[in-house]
Structure 1
């Protein structure tokens, strides 16, 4: 399994923001996207995940193997931690591995209502979904928002030791060093040329 991105151009609101992107990520590998705010990291991730089409080029990976995780935690406040994970398991036809609770430091929170959790605990619960849904190709947009240093290391340990070690793939937009073994792709050089925007006002980018 691998992810192939071939001469892709992505757009925000119909306006090209990144162009000429070509790269591959093999099974068991991650790629970290770097670039200033507004360069198009989220737009690229959404395009790779199939949530919007590229203007040009191809994105190739096995069908139904991708998942996009945004800044939103995607949890139901009225459900417990266990019930939230079971909900996502049901959606994807998967059981909740017991190891997920330990991997994301949720063992003592199993019966707590998600709405009573701290911001960091909610984020860990949101990320724990990734260990339940069984998708091999993860597109992660600032996954460590609201996490303290200990929790960042915990997430990186799960990503490297569980997801990637099992042959998974991850493309991650982040401003911090996750401490994982992964090459980085600076997106600024792929910023779309002004003439590709048909004179659009950059204030809207």
Structure 2
């Protein structure tokens, strides 16, 4: 039975379809799948700081080395974008062509990719996308983030955020949240999620999952 947890911050945003979410160190970036834009907002005020057009937005979003990476296009490729200019630098193919790449998080150890149809989250090398590790999950992951020794994924249909211990690869907690969580990110103290249902960016504080 998931624990119920309330939000500690709610930011309504102008959007029609919230997809991905990432933290750049001072701003929250979210991707919008109808307007096809990636938008940066101030986490304290919700004020829009940047807008970047990005055709074919599909699911999650992450940052790596100051660049944005967005899942985009029919094949759900990894589109690397310069946040300053909005220009696409390169587009990397989906490492599992034709499969539903739904979650994304880049870390110092590699890039985590969640596949909804396979119910797995994979760790791959940033260069070459070589498979390093696989973590089975209970349900289709709608978004993925990482905090220290924990892998966190969102269950959209179950309105739940799930926490996996990376050492044991076992789910250690599940938190029932408001709305429908999709994209996830970690700001060093809180987990933020896109609430697809009410079109807000929402933060929760999860005991034991700290930066």
- Taking structure 1 as the reference length, the TM-score comes to 0.27
> If each structure's strand is expressed as a fraction of its own residues, which one has the higher value?
2
> If each structure's helix is expressed as a fraction of its own residues, which one has the higher value?
1
